Structure 1
Amino acid sequence: MDDHRVLTLFYIWRMYINILAMSGATLILVNDFLKRNQERAPLENSHIRDIARGSVIDRIIKSSDNNCIWELRMCRNTFSRLCELLKVQGGLIEDGKLMIEEQVAIFLNILAHHKKNRDIQVTYYRSGETISRYFHNVLFSVLRLHELLLAKPEPVPQDCTDERWKYFKNCLGALDGTYIPVTVSVADSARYRTRKGHLRCFGLLKKRWAILRSPSFYPIKTQNRVILACSLLHNFIRTCMSFDPEEHTPLAGDAIPIGEDANNVIGVVELSNQWTQWRDELATQMFVEWHANRNRA
């Protein structure tokens, strides 16, 4: 083989080596680029979610009182005061993940519209576990305000002479006949029944908080705490808001659950003999006195 041919083969081989080296370097660069972008993508997605979450909160509590009242059942000023009260006296804290405003908004949104966990996940871009955890955090913070917000009724005194109330000595007052459906286990059902198989509460509470209009499938202890929390928040709202639009809006018909879970909702039970006897004796006494007063007149 002559020298010219050897030299030619040498140059071809060196070019081939260079091409392989360049290809390897290119692959390394491409791989490094893809790796950096893969690492950056979660950060970018997280940033997008943060922007979306902020947009949701701003739309509810910063855009107008109408939005805030519709979503959370209170005006913006009342919402701000509630957040401060829960922080100072309710022990609610920011842990670096959710601001107090977002925690409280999620909680109120669930109470106001009886939204399920999965619905709140979509609205607030949070995981189901996060929503559940902060719901209970805010719930317990609200309950810590019971000494401040719970109304303390005075019983009808023994010496009452008011014709409307004198028959109801030691009673705390009359309820309006509205009930809150709850879902309990079969073993516990008897403890939570009234004459119509429900827990009683004022109708305005049900107008304000949709979670009270239909059975909730939280554990029974949580259901009881939710009812109390709704009452405390109701008192807070009426104290802070000079005009309460809920008092002037109609109440939609109660929702009835459909499906297997509906079988666990407490139904009607028999009247107790003790209650029936007391009621009949009181009615008889009231009628006798009314009839005697009418004859004297």
Structure 2
Amino acid sequence: MLMKPFLEGKDLKRWRAEPRGLWLIYIPQRRVNIDDYPAIRDWLLPFKDKLEARATKQEWFELQQAQEAYSPFFQPPKIAYGHFQDQPIYSMETTGAYSNNKTYFIPNGDWDLLEVLNSKAIWFDFCSRTTAVRGGWREATAQHIEPLPMPPITDTAKTELSRLAEGASKAAQERLTLQTALKHRQSQKASREEIAALRGIIRQDREIGLFVSSGGFTPQAMAEARNGTVHIQLMDLDSFLENWMAYYDKLAEEDRALLRLRPVYFLSPN
């Protein structure tokens, strides 16, 4: 697969990542006939002159330094974290995402290790080894992470720590889904990037997306929702109100209270 999900350091949070629909076109040297992938070829063609002007010898569409030796380590599961931290921001990366030089990962990381890394005890030790820079951020370089003390963990504790970490990650993901999918806006239309961000957190094998925007959607956003492999239903204010009225009588009373409807009667002229 040539398209790899891509994360930047600012996408990594505690217990979860917040992907923004970024992708890496990963084409190592002498591995691909670009004409077999016309959509990717056509996307890259406007940049062909600049790509051909790069140093070293490679085809215009190939990566200059693909670093293939490290590619297997990007496979999930792995623990990912960002370079700058103002709190523990370790999460389990399960999509096989690639990343930039402001992110790091621990290959084959276990859930119990994730729980320990996000703990207050480890954060206290980490802070004792680092100096806060502007804004209170601390740099999580290898020289600061590798010496962190890891306590011996019994099998019973390992099971419990793993359960807690998986539960925290699931709750964080569910919260992100709600934050991303449901936004109230009076006039601003939802953009293509926001639709792509929602697609990035949907599990294709068992989920579909619903994006509600009271301000509507840009043409690019509608095309993004229509052309993707994951189904995303767009709902503007008119559609939302139509559905609310259609299913109002079937809603629980506590749900009706969120947006109360009252019938209005008119005398018939006949």
**TM-score where L is the length of structure 2:** 0.22
Larger Rg: 1
Between Structure 1 and Structure 2, which shows a larger proportion of helix residues?
1
**TM-score where L is the length of structure 1:** 0.20
Between Structure 1 and Structure 2, which shows a larger proportion of strand residues?
2
